[in-house]
Amino acid sequence: MTTTAPRAALSTTAALALLFCCSIARSADDARELVATQNQLAFYSPFWQNLHHVLYAEAWRKRGVEPARSNAGTLPEPLTGNLTPQEQAAWDAAVAYYDRELADHDLLFELADIRRALYRGAGKLPETGLGKAHHDALAAAAPVYAKYWWPSHDRANRAWIAEALPRIAQLAPEVTTKLERLYDTRWFRTPARVDIVRVGKRQGNYTDGIPAPGYITLSSSDPDNQGWAVVEVVFHESSHAVFEEALRDPIAREEREQRKRTGQLWHVALFYITGEVVHEALAARKIDYTQYLYSTGLFDRAWPQFEPTIEHNMPAFVAGKTSLADAMHALVAEAPEPAPRPPR
């Protein structure tokens, strides 16, 4: 697979050439935000998407809730600066708008139209797709963000990309080839967009199917997105776009045939498969690595009921000793159904 060596920024000509290959008309602003492309993943550090996420996170911070109860991640550095009264008022008004109108809604599922509108803006504040009050709040907050915090956030995002890409390049040929074989599905044939934001969801990362072939958002400050974990995180989120259907369809078929509901079993399987493939590639290089499900406590915290059946059935599948269809049949057969909700 063709890759582009990581560098601080692509030239406008190279960026436009890449995006022409994607058959997407973008602006010069968008080209400047494109940092590098590798393994059919185009990594961006986009201004408006970063501002959107920072305002969302600040709205939650000002609520003073525990991080575990927040919808947003936490900025590693406070937003400080000698703002003028007018700048402070504009910023506070934008944060208040997010607190009042947007913070209670999920960034991926409920605020997807906002993210897609910002994407269509191609590096500019879009004139359509946002409510007037939201548009005006972003327009007023943008000069403040650009003056005081965006330069450091952009540097941090680009530094994260510069560190991540060599790791991805080292493992990508093995990881993508094996994932393609396991799912019997081809990797991206045109670049998927990856937005690097300084702060994201509480869970750090998420993936949308629009625009095709995929739209991934990753947080450069999330502590679980550092070191070799970036490889698993990137390939897990990519798997949502390119492999999820190949996994969910046989699970759904088995659920119908076995008359069972397994909830998020497919998502746990997706995590496990990617984690094991990355772990295998690193072990071949004598690099110790603990998969995301275990290193973050995600298994114990969110899906302990699925751990026995995942660990019983998935290693053989990842090792190529059983087919996807057979593995999903056994997985669903052993999986517990969600506990019934108590009466209200």
Instruction: Kindly indicate the confidence band of residue 337, based on its pLDDT and cuts at 50, 70 and 90.
Output: confident
Query: So what's the pLDDT on residue 25?
Result: 38
Alpha helices in 107-194 (DSSP H): 112-120, 132-148, 150-183
Instruction: Kindly indicate the confidence band of residue 211, based on its pLDDT and cuts at 50, 70 and 90.
Output: very high
Tokens for 306, please give them.
Answer: 């699925």
pLDDT tens digits for range 241-294: 999 999 999 999 999 999 999 999 999 999 999 999 999 999 999 999 999 999
Q: Is the dihedral of CA 18, 20, 23, 26 positive or negative?
A: positive
- Identity of residue 246: A
pLDDT tens digits for range 11-35: 333 333 333 333 333 457 888 999 9
Domain definitions of the chain by residue range: 48-150, 243-334
In what helix (H) or strand (E) does residue 310 lie, and over which residues does it extend? helix 307-318
Mean pLDDT (the chain, rounded): 91
pLDDT tens digits for range 46-58: 999 999 999 999 9
Contact 310, 294 (CB under 8 A): no
3 state DSSP class of 46: coil
pLDDT score of 8 more than 90? no
Using the structure block, give the residue that is written with the tokens 């359509």: 128
Lowest mean pLDDT among 92-96, 158-162, 340-344: 340-344
